[in-house]
Structure 1
Amino acid sequence: MNLENSAKRRFFRLCCILLLGGLVTTCVEPFETEIESFESILIVDATLTNEQKQQQVLLSRTFRFNEEQLVETGAEVGIVDDQSTRFEFIETEPGKYLTPSEFTAVPGRDYQLIIKTAEGNEYASDFRSLTPVLEIDDLYAERTVNGQGVLGITVFADSSDPQGNAKFYRYEYDETYKIIAPRWSPVEIEVLSKNPPEIQFVTKTEETRVCYGSASSTDVILASSTEFDEDKVTRFPIRFLSKENFLTQNRYSILVRQFVQSPEAFAFYETLKEFSDFESLFSQTQPGFITGNIVSRTNSSEKIIGFFDVSSVSSKRIFFEHIDFFPEGPPPPFINDCETFSPLFFFLGFSPLIDALETGFFTYFNVNDDPTPDEGPYLLVPKECGDCRVLGSNKVPDFWEE
């Protein structure tokens, strides 16, 4: 994959704004609008944190609905601090820029993002300083019913700042879930010859029964304590999983990252959240262009989408299983019914069995003990039902706990 999951979700979240003359289509009927012009606008996704890591900047361009995402390649990217120290970035993948070595934002220091594109256009942010460091007090899950009356599991976060300096929070999460192929076989069919059809059974040498899938948040998740007497976030909902959600069929884990934000950064993401809300695309009162803190040094009238933020980050991870909250019932269903079928081994000069296997969509499950005249000797299933690698990785994550 060209970008990490968390990077891709931010790219999508920013690019899906489509305030620049794209057209939107619903699943029911098209929404038609006149498009007079389209502007190719630079999108900057850059958050410097207090984490000891290779810091990252993502650059892309706006694109019309149903067009491929455009990334900004060949740029010179750097961060300078108020002591004139410059941290250079290198492009490791198209549109993805990383520092060659790890470093962390330091309290009391001011930082500025500077970009020069391959075309020679220059951009700069204002100077930003690190927000107060605040740990997540608690991360936990409970059996709940959401606002639509759906039974499920909600992941909550608690945070508090006795000093009252935080107040604005943004959350992201990465979830990992165990996948067990429900119709797995220790052997598979190897095709030796297609004409004449010849096969053999071989023992699988790779793990194909148990895998681990992953996904990341796509929504803008914001919380604020400004309306409360104390700087405290209590029982803030991060993620809701319905009782029937396949992700909790086996063991599930979620890593939540809490960003403490400045009021300006929070306001930017709050506006971004309004734009990314599907209904707002059809609103009669559009909120207008999203103004960030990055400007063009080449053309003062040029629009740029993005906000350079310097945020403290804390994280927590929890594990749970469906049975922890719903001991009375079966686990959620697999994503496929996994029905078997038995293509003929030979028919009119070709092999339906081999043809099915060569599509890559099916895999061997078992012997067909009692085939009918129009069935073959072996049972096949959709590949994800017998090979978990279709849905995830067969490598156990370093953090995984049973």
Structure 2
Amino acid sequence: MDRIIMIRNRHFLLVAIYSTLLMTSCIETFEATFEDFESAIVVEATITDKLEQQRVFLTRTFEFEDDGPSPETNASVRVEGGGNTFVFQESTPGLYISTQAFAAEPNTDYQLRIDTQNGRSYSSEQMTLPQATQIDDLRVERVTNDLGEEGVAILVDSFDPAGNSVNYRYQYEETFKIIAPFWTPNDLERTPAGIATEICQVSIIPDERSEETCFDTDFSNTIIQTSTKDLAEDRVSNFMVRFISRENYIISHRYSILVRQFVQSNEAFTFYETLNEFSGNESFFSETQPGFLEGNISSDTDTDEKVLGYFDVASVAEQRLFFNYSDLFPGEELPPYVDPCNLSAPPFRTPGNPPRCILAVQTDLGLVSYAGNNDSAGQNEGPYFVAPNVCGDCSEIGKVEVPEFWIEE
């Protein structure tokens, strides 16, 4: 029977398959890395030349039937380089942030060291900073992708006239405005017993809880990279970092994306390229079968222990852009909201004796938002239209605070 081991970090998704019984087939078999499942540490660490508090992610592998990865907590994490030691403290489980801001410097060797709470130690190979290359242009265009889906493409251009950069990896952070389509300045509440004139009555009150406009932020969670090694010059041109369907609600109003471009070593590029191949579903049925992917981190305690992950030192450049849906789709219908937002008019109570409250219970539980009066109520309808709460209160899916970098048109 096959077993599946999954390693999932913020950017890692690695699957190792092995069998307890080998069967003859047209697909080549491989020697299993784990004969019996044993949790392995997963390390994600990229130190950049940007002056900031750097981050290291530590988790553990998990089996397919498990809920997900478990964070590696209470570890001692540090980066050594140039005669300095930069200490990292655990911010949230598995996330370690440097106690001071620092930037990787050229011609300096850096090494990651980790001591876990179970007494094991790990260290990386020494890594140096590649040459930096700026992003020349970041733009958005209305496109139709290869699947015939219409949307927008986030495109990047970059050029290194010296031809030394070659290997590029990208991450993005996208932020978007959310406007609740059925927000009103009014709300509903169960009418107090001393005021109510009928059973299960609900009344209109000023809305002091819901929000009409919010913002949300998401981060890239896939490996996005390209290489110019087979091109005539070290030029990245029209490389699509992100495609967004025009049916995606995140571009309904105003959208912003921050793109980070990392220049990588050949070793780092190969590692992420192989990881991306391993994590693809097609690998289950191809001749290239996934096994253990070796990075540049090893155990100092046990030379036979498997360590997953990579310590990278990369130069980084970043740019941000904003656009409105109307900039690319002028006069066209907005994408569908995150919820269908079907309106209903629940009655105050069910018929019969004793009655059962309907709208009052929905209101008490915060499930619905007031959307208007139902002045022509039909049979089994109440006097108010309501919508799912997410349709009248954007704080269900976003934050009210305007991001510091946010710029309106």
Give the TM-score normalised by structure 1: 0.89
Change (3 A) 1:57 1:213: same
What are the residue-to-residue correspondences of 1:207-226 with 2, within 5 Å? 208-226=211-229
Could you tell me which residue of structure 2 aligns to residue 388 of structure 1? Answer: 394
Do 1:133 and 1:260's aligned partners in 2 also have CA atoms closer than 8 Å?
A: yes
Could you tell me which residue of structure 2 aligns to residue 19 of structure 1? Answer: 16
Do 1:18 and 1:62's aligned partners in 2 also have CA atoms closer than 8 Å?
A: no
Q: Give a deviation string over 1:83-123, Cα, whole Å, max 9, x none.
A: 2x211111121111111121111112111000011011110
Return 318-327 or 132-141, whichever deviates more: 318-327
Please state if 1:401 is matched with 2:407: yes
Could you tell me which residue of structure 2 aligns to residue 181 of structure 1? Answer: 180
Do 1:125 and 1:294's aligned partners in 2 also have CA atoms closer than 8 Å?
A: yes
Please state if 1:285 is matched with 2:291: no
Return 346-355 or 255-264, whichever deviates more: 346-355
* Displaced runs of 4 or more, over 6 A: none
CA distance in 2 between partners of 1:313 and 1:125 (Å): 21
CA distance in 1 between partners of 2:131 and 2:11 (Å): 26
Structure 2 gap segments, 5+ residues each: 1-6, 20-31
Kindly state the Cα deviation for residue 372 of structure 1 after the two structures are TM-superposed.
1.4
Change (3 A) 1:266 1:207: same
Kindly state the Cα deviation for residue 328 of structure 1 after the two structures are TM-superposed.
5.1
Please state if 1:372 is matched with 2:378: yes
CA distance in 2 between partners of 1:21 and 1:58 (Å): 27
Please state if 1:88 is matched with 2:91: no
| Rg larger for | 2
CA distance in 2 between partners of 1:295 and 1:72 (Å): 16
Could you tell me which residue of structure 2 aligns to residue 240 of structure 1? Answer: 243
Secondary structure in 1 aligned to 2:215?
A: strand
Please state if 1:307 is matched with 2:310: yes
Do 1:13 and 1:276's aligned partners in 2 also have CA atoms closer than 8 Å?
A: no
Kindly state the Cα deviation for residue 244 of structure 1 after the two structures are TM-superposed.
1.8
Kindly state the Cα deviation for residue 298 of structure 1 after the two structures are TM-superposed.
0.6
Kindly state the Cα deviation for residue 198 of structure 1 after the two structures are TM-superposed.
5.1
Secondary structure in 2 aligned to 1:88?
A: strand
Kindly state the Cα deviation for residue 335 of structure 1 after the two structures are TM-superposed.
2.4
Do 2:189 and 2:360's aligned partners in 1 also have CA atoms closer than 8 Å?
A: no
Kindly state the Cα deviation for residue 177 of structure 1 after the two structures are TM-superposed.
1.2
Could you tell me which residue of structure 1 aligns to residue 346 of structure 2? Answer: 343
CA distance in 2 between partners of 1:161 and 1:312 (Å): 13
Please state if 1:250 is matched with 2:253: yes
Do 2:113 and 2:124's aligned partners in 1 also have CA atoms closer than 8 Å?
A: yes
Secondary structure in 2 aligned to 1:17?
A: strand
Please state if 1:357 is matched with 2:360: no
Kindly state the Cα deviation for residue 207 of structure 1 after the two structures are TM-superposed.
5.9
Give the TM-score normalised by structure 2: 0.88
Kindly state the Cα deviation for residue 190 of structure 1 after the two structures are TM-superposed.
2.8
CA distance in 2 between partners of 1:52 and 1:66 (Å): 41
Counting aligned pairs with the same residue, the percent is 41
Could you tell me which residue of structure 1 aligns to residue 78 of structure 2? Answer: 78
Please state if 1:271 is matched with 2:274: yes
Kindly state the Cα deviation for residue 12 of structure 1 after the two structures are TM-superposed.
4.3
Do 1:18 and 1:64's aligned partners in 2 also have CA atoms closer than 8 Å?
A: no
Change (3 A) 1:361 1:283: farther
- Give the residue type in structure 1 aligned to 2:300: R
Change (3 A) 1:362 1:281: farther
Do 1:21 and 1:38's aligned partners in 2 also have CA atoms closer than 8 Å?
A: no
Kindly state the Cα deviation for residue 284 of structure 1 after the two structures are TM-superposed.
4.0
CA distance in 2 between partners of 1:393 and 1:323 (Å): 23
CA distance in 2 between partners of 1:182 and 1:94 (Å): 36
Please state if 1:139 is matched with 2:138: yes
Do 1:18 and 1:63's aligned partners in 2 also have CA atoms closer than 8 Å?
A: no
Q: Give a deviation string over 1:35-80, Cα, whole Å, max 9, x none.
A: 9632211000111111111111110001122523211011111111
- Give the residue type in structure 1 aligned to 2:367: F
Kindly state the Cα deviation for residue 13 of structure 1 after the two structures are TM-superposed.
3.6
Secondary structure in 2 aligned to 1:279?
A: helix
